A and B are shown apart, each in its own frame.
Chain A
Amino acid sequence: LAKTTQPISMDSYEGQEVNITCSHNNIATNDYITWYQQFPSQGPRFIIQGYKTKVTNEVASLFIPADRKSSTLSLPRVSLSDTAVYYCLVGGPSGSARQLTFGSGTQLTVLP
């Protein structure tokens, strides 16, 4: 399993762009990078997934450099409602759910 390292917490202000970086030095060739968002006392919600370069959807962008040893989740123009814990996951398509590991995540606090 590829271990991931994220900052424990980050603060930002409304309207700013937030970038959360995740390190995964031991990522395997078949591993994908997935990000989830979790609000208190709720289940996590899938945000975005990628394998290499850049992926963008309606809520976020994911930047993955060529060596794939890190990735950056970018949230444009955050609002107070984006205050949550963000998890970076790395796993391979082996058919085994054991490949997904949720670490402690990054607590993002958006301030007014």
Chain B
Amino acid sequence: DGGITQSPKYLFRKEGQNVTLSCEQNLNHDAMYWYRQDPGQGLRLIYYSQIVNDFQKGDIAEGYSVSREKKESFPLTVTSAQKNPTAFYLCASSRGSDSYEQYFGPGTRLTVT
């Protein structure tokens, strides 16, 4: 089955630690995205990548980093510089960055204490 996977589903970390969230897709999509969602809120774009070895900051990139070494993988690192890291993180992909049909993964719920 083609799709987009994120792991783990739940993640707990101590404050001050960096943590990396995994996102993999086998849809052969060029573009990939990371969003953050807080309770009762919409999604906010963290980073996106239109092609391998290229990525751009979204609206709330501070305290996050990404890499795109392979087409199918787009990991997100939440660094200790992110002031409020506890949130629901969603990864998505699309055929191209101008496609409005984005396919979302199941999400990772990160809790930092």
**Chain A residues proximal to chain B, CB less than 8 Å:** 32, 34, 41-46, 49, 87, 89, 91, 93-98, 100-105
Decide if B102 is an interface residue (CB 8 Å cutoff): yes
Residues in B51-110 with C-beta less than 8 Å from chain A = 56, 58-59, 88, 90-92, 96-98, 100-107, 109
State the CA gap A103–B44 with chains docked (Å).
9
Least CB separation from B58: chain A residue: A98
Smallest CB separation, B55 vs chain A (Å):
10
State the CA gap A11–B44 with chains docked (Å).
26
**Chain B residues proximal to chain A, CB less than 8 Å:** 31, 33, 35, 40-45, 48, 50, 56, 58-59, 88, 90-92, 96-98, 100-107, 109
Contact A46 B102 (CB under 8 A): yes
Contact B100 A89 (CB under 8 A): yes
State the CA gap A46–B40 with chains docked (Å).
19
Q: How many residue pairs, one in A and one in B, have C-beta atoms under 8 Å apart?
A: 67
Q: Pick 26 A–B contacts, CB within 8 A, sort by A.
A: A32-B100, A42-B104, A42-B107, A43-B106, A44-B43, A44-B90, A44-B102, A44-B104, A46-B101, A46-B102, A46-B103, A49-B101, A87-B42, A95-B50, A95-B97, A95-B98, A97-B31, A97-B33, A97-B48, A97-B58, A97-B97, A98-B45, A100-B45, A104-B40, A104-B41, A105-B42
A residues less than 8 Å from B33 (CB atoms): 97
Smallest CB separation, B3 vs chain A (Å):
11
